[in-house]
Amino acid sequence: MNLEKLESTLGVNFKNKDLLTQALTHRSYLNENPDFSLDHNERLEFLGDAVLELAVTDYLYRNYSNPEGELTSWRASLVNSKMLATIGTRLELNEFLLLSKGEAKDSGRARQYILTNAVEAIIGAIYLDRGYEFASEFVHKFILPELDDIIKNKLHKDSKSLLQELAQEKVSITPVYKVLNEWGPDHDRHFKIGVYLGEEAVGEGEGVSKQEAQQSAAENALINKGWKE
């Protein structure tokens, strides 16, 4: 695996190359390679998620005087799984991911989720290896440039945000999401989520992450309530 090529793309020369390798290691790879010397990337993903959110929040706070709700919607659009999977594809991370043979063949939604996690894990690895400033530079270089398009085309009005906005406006209730079912191994979980307005079940959705399933449920609820244009 040519990490130098990836480092060049990322604009980061890692002191500890193992951190970058670990960021690219999916849990499924260890199942087939139990003697592999590194852990999978889930802890780095956990860390990177927090660093990403801080970097985006700090940028929005310093550069825009919009209300909190609007800034929150913009941030959600920048850090959601769909956006991060797109960034991961642009960075050609598929070329570097360490996956099981089965996962390597999958190019569907599960792969998109793996790409999302890898981007977050890379941010976590950069933070540990080079510090917050380098991690923030990565976010500024690859993720924040998407903000103009989000604002211009109102892409921050995702289904979940729109449902909350309309539910509060029309019935003065905040939607609540509940996990109805989950299945699959740890590296390939699937979720079924229901959304409720008070006691009323208004929608259901499925996805390879809770966030994706919530968006699907919100979309279903908007249709069921007749609130979708």
- Catalytic, out of 35, 103, 106, 120: 120
- Catalytic, out of 45, 49, 103, 212: 49
- Is 42 assigned a catalytic role? no
Interatomic CA distance for residues 4 and 17, integer angstroms: 10
- Is 120 assigned a catalytic role? yes
What are the b/e assignments for 48-74, b being 16+ CB within 10 Å?
bbebbbebbeebbeeeeeeeeeebebb
- Contact by Cβ (8 Å): 76, 68: no
- For 179, list phi and psi in degrees, rounded to 5: -75, 120
Which one-letter DSSP state was computed for residue 98? B
- For 158, list phi and psi in degrees, rounded to 5: -70, 170
Interatomic CA distance for residues 20 and 169, integer angstroms: 46
Interatomic CA distance for residues 208 and 220, integer angstroms: 17
- Contact by Cβ (8 Å): 55, 119: no
Q: What are the residue numbers of the active site?
A: 49, 120
